[in-house]
Amino acid sequence: MSKSNLRRPQKKSTLKKRQDWDTSIGDLSQHRLSDDEASRRKQAYQSRNLQLIQDEKQRKLLAKAVHDARKNNSNQLGILREILFNERD
C-alpha cells in the first residue's frame, strides 16, 4: 500500500455535558412586553392609510347600494309599465 492511502487515527472530541435547564433561576416575566409596548408595536405595524381605506370601502358599498336600489326600482317600473300597457289593450 502507498502511504497516501493510509489514514491517521483521529482523536475523538469529547463533548462537555450541558447542565439541565433550571427554571427556578430565571424570572422570564422581566422579558415580557408591557401592555403599552405591545400596543405601540401593534400600531407600528398597522398601515397609516387604514382609515382612508375603510372610508373608501364604505363609500363604495354605499354607492353600490344606491346603484342596486336604482336598478331594482327601474326594473319594477318596467314591469309596472308592461302590466299597464297590457291592460290598455
| pLDDT recorded at residue 89 | 62
* CA separation for the pair 21, 23 (Å, rounded): 6
| pLDDT recorded at residue 54 | 93
The residue ranges of the chain whose pLDDT is under 50 are none
Is-contact 53 59, C-beta < 8 A?
no
| pLDDT recorded at residue 31 | 83
Residues in the chain: 89
DSSP annotation string for 2-48:
-GGGPPPPPPPPPPPPPPPP-TTT--GGGGSPPHHHHHHHHHHHS-T
Global pTM? 0.40
